[in-house]
Structures are given as structure tokens and as C-alpha cells.
Structure 1
Amino acid sequence: MNIKRVMIVGTMIVAMSFGGTAWGRTAAIASPVAKWSTSAAVADKDELLEALNQSSDEELYEALYDGKSLKDIAAENGGNINQVINLQVAQLTQQLDSRLASGSITREQYAAQKAEVRELVTQSVTTTFG
């Protein structure tokens, strides 16, 4: 299997999840596998495209497939990478809040994961798969 294709598809899944698709189940499940929800918030998805200054999911997919990072895409199209990072951090923090509230993670796990969110997101937006 082509590693570039695997990495691109993985990046797209992450980008789409940060872009507003919701987990299909509550965060009480320990499984890291995301289930796509059919009731995804379109407005959130548009926030990611807007921050990257992309007109469609397809345009974003093609740019990622061509080996560009989210940071590259934003820079080339007059997007706002800080807005992308803040959006992703807010959404991951919201997921962590839900997991803490449901009891699927401890306060210690929550604190450790939350402390790493911004750094991980910042690293991910600069990752390319060329």
C-alpha cells in the first residue's frame, strides 16, 4: 500500500474531524476509532475551509494529497493558520472536556492531554507527506 496515500487519507480524516464532524458515539468509549456522524455541523466544517481560504473539501484534499501541510495551504491561499490552530485546539479541548465529564478519563489524564494539545496541533499543521 502506498504510504503517501495512507498518510494523506489519515491527514484528511484529522482535518475533517477538526473541521466539524462529530464523533458518532460519546467519548465514554475507550476506542480511539472515530465514527462519522451524519449530523455533522456544516458551519464548523466551513470554519476550517474558511480559515484555510479553501472553497471545498475537494480542493483541500487535493492540496493535502499534493504533499502540502495545512500551514502551506493557508500561506498559499491567504488563509489564517493561527485560526486553524485555535479551531483545532478548541475542538480537541471540547472533546477532552466531554471525556472528563463522562468519566472516560481521569483528571490526571485530562490535565496531561490538555497540556499537550496546542503543541501537537501546532506540529500537525506543519506536517507534510510528500
Structure 2
Amino acid sequence: MNIKRVMIVGTMIVAMSFGGTAWGKPAAVTLPVAKWSTSASVADKDELLDALNQSSDEELYEALYDGKSLKDIAAENGGNIHKVINLQVAQLTQQLDSRLASGSISREQYTVQKAELRELVTQSVTTAFG
């Protein structure tokens, strides 16, 4: 079980929104697809499990598989959904920073996308994929 895949499930709505109607403004018409790493650092993995108050990857995977959202998991286990949101926003901000630095997005696209990140992540943590 790869915890990065769990993070991807939790942020799938965000990734889909990059190409959706929320980004239909002229500044963001042609957006490259967000690149997702297939490996998570131990710190990211531990932060996510800690924020959700989960003891293992498997426990988290099973809860997601059962159709629970990240918000549901945090609520049921005394976790902190705000930490989950902050972690995901930080990771996606890093991706945006990298894309800006590499020139794959413009400063205007970066500004538009970054301004909507927290709202999109907040919406995604309430979405169950079951």
C-alpha cells in the first residue's frame, strides 16, 4: 500500500479541477496535467497518518476503500482534518512552484491556481470514493 496513492485519491478532485470549468479563465486555458510522484517521503506519510489518527497505511486504505472521505476518517478517529488540508495544500503548492520555475505555467496561471487551492482541497477531503 503506497500512501502517496492515498494522497492522490484525496486530492483527485483538485487535479481534475485544474482542467475543469473553475480554471476556464483565459489565464488558465492550457494547463499541463499535474504530475504526481509515486513515492512519498516518510515524513509526508507519517504526517498524513498522524493527522487522520490512523495507525497504519492499511487501516487508512481500508477506510478509503469502504467509501469514507478523509474528513469522515478524521472525524471518526479524532484526527485533525485541518492538518490534512494543510498538508495537501503544501504539497500542491510545491508542485505549482516547480511548474512555475520550470516554465510550464505562467505567473498568471500560478496566481489563479494558487488562489483556489485551499478551497479545492477542502472540497476534496469531503468527497468519498466508494
User: 1:20 matched to which residue of 2?
Assistant: none
Q: Answer yes or no: is the 8 Å Cα contact 1:69–1:127 preserved in 2.
A: yes
Deviant stretches of 4+, over 2 Å: 30-35
Change over 3 Å in CA distance of 1:78–1:48 after alignment to 2: same
Q: Answer yes or no: is the 8 Å Cα contact 2:51–2:80 preserved in 1.
A: yes
Q: CA deviation at 1:128?
A: 1.3
Q: CA deviation at 1:33?
A: 5.1
Q: CA deviation at 1:16?
A: 7.9
Q: TM-score, normalised by structure 2?
A: 0.73
- Mapped to 1, the partners of 2:88 and 2:78 lie a distance apart of 19
Does 1 or 2 have the higher relative contact order (CA < 8 Å, sep 6+)? Answer: 2
Matching of residue 14 in structure 1 with residue 38 in structure 2: no
Q: Answer yes or no: is the 8 Å Cα contact 1:16–1:45 preserved in 2.
A: no
User: 1:97 matched to which residue of 2?
Assistant: 97
- Mapped to 2, the partners of 1:86 and 1:33 lie a distance apart of 19
User: 2:73 matched to which residue of 1?
Assistant: 73
User: 2:61 matched to which residue of 1?
Assistant: 61
Matching of residue 36 in structure 1 with residue 38 in structure 2: yes
Q: CA deviation at 1:95?
A: 1.1
Q: CA deviation at 1:129?
A: 2.8
Give the % identical residues. Answer: 78
| Secondary structure in 2 matching 1:54 | coil
Q: TM-score, normalised by structure 1?
A: 0.73
Gaps of 5+ in 2: 12-31
Matching of residue 111 in structure 1 with residue 105 in structure 2: no
- Mapped to 2, the partners of 1:99 and 1:16 lie a distance apart of 21
Change over 3 Å in CA distance of 1:47–1:16 after alignment to 2: farther
Q: CA deviation at 1:41?
A: 1.3
Q: CA deviation at 1:73?
A: 0.2
User: 1:125 matched to which residue of 2?
Assistant: 125
Change over 3 Å in CA distance of 1:86–1:76 after alignment to 2: same
Q: Answer yes or no: is the 8 Å Cα contact 1:52–1:73 preserved in 2.
A: yes
